[in-house]
Structure 1
Amino acid sequence: MGKTFIRKKSGYEITLMAEWLGNDLLLNLYGGDTPHIGTVTTFSNDDTQTRRFPSHDGRFHKDDVLASLLLKAIQSKIPGNCVITAGVHVDHISQDQIAASFSMTEELAEELVLWIEEHRLAKKPQYN
């Protein structure tokens, strides 16, 4: 069961795709002129880890900043594990557009919390 959320501000949009895999949550946060997978953030039992991938110019992507905002809002709602891929790139990004990425992510997180609360999976795996 999945859901897609979209926010648009400052001339670009960010999309959040959420998918339940059992009691685990897979999130894909992307947008701008060149969506990509810049970082992967994992969360399990209060342990958070992040992997930043190199960008085209050798620096590392910083999309985990947005993933961290998202995770902070939802981590108490997640019954299992969570993986967040994040990649937002806006060509020649302005300070206003950077600020918009934070507010869009926070708004997407609010929507996601409501969706999680309404669509929480209750089935637990059965073992022999």
Structure 2
Amino acid sequence: MERTIKKSLSFGELTLKITEVGEDWHLLLTGGEKPHVGCAVLAVPRPSLTGSGKTSVTSSVLNLTGHKDETICRYLAEEIAKRKNAVTVCTGGVHVDHITKEQMEEVLSTVKDMAEACGMQEVEG
């Protein structure tokens, strides 16, 4: 099953393609002027080490040299892994020439909204 979430930004668009792979999830986040794969994050759910009974995650990250996509890909992978209690991989990249601090904050806020939408709904074809 696959689903796509698109969100408009003041300076472009982000696209999140969500694919259910058996019991696991693959997320592909792209956007900006030059969408690319700048990062891959594998998040594996596990019981919290605090003993609280909550679900936590262990993540592995691969970054392309010079790319700063880890923050948004890690956020998505870890949130969905916790919410779905499923192995989750997030790959992607967003590139905007001369991005401002305000634009970076807008991207992160939008990614958080996307995680909420993805985590709260089942994937539909």
- TM-score class, shorter-chain normalisation, is 0.7 to 0.9
Establish whether residue 64 from structure 1 lines up as the match of residue 70 from structure 2: yes
Aligned residues: 113
Residue of structure 1 in register with 2:3 after alignment: 3
Gaps of 5+ in 1: 55-59, 121-128
Q: Which amino acid aligns with 1:67?
A: C
The equivalent position to 2:111 in structure 1, one of 105, 110, 117, is 105
Residue of structure 1 in register with 2:98 after alignment: 92
Helix, strand or coil for the counterpart of 1:102?
Answer: helix
Residue of structure 1 in register with 2:50 after alignment: none
Residue range with higher mean Cα deviation, 20-29 or 66-75:
66-75
Gaps of 5+ in 2: 46-56
Q: TM-score w.r.t. structure 1 length? A: 0.80
Residue of structure 2 in register with 1:15 after alignment: 15
Helix, strand or coil for the counterpart of 2:14?
Answer: strand
Helix, strand or coil for the counterpart of 2:108?
Answer: helix
Q: Is the 8 A contact 1:13 1:31 kept in 2?
A: yes
Could you say what the CA RMSD is over the residues aligned between the two structures, in angstroms?
1.7
Choose between structure 1 and 2: higher strand proportion.
Answer: 2
- Map 1:47-62 onto structure 2 (within 5 A): 47-54=58-65, 60-62=66-68
Counterpart Cα distance in 2 of 1:50 and 1:94: 25
Helix, strand or coil for the counterpart of 2:98?
Answer: coil
Query: Whose radius of gyration is greater, 1 or 2?
Result: 1
Helix, strand or coil for the counterpart of 1:91?
Answer: coil
Q: Which amino acid aligns with 1:40?
A: A
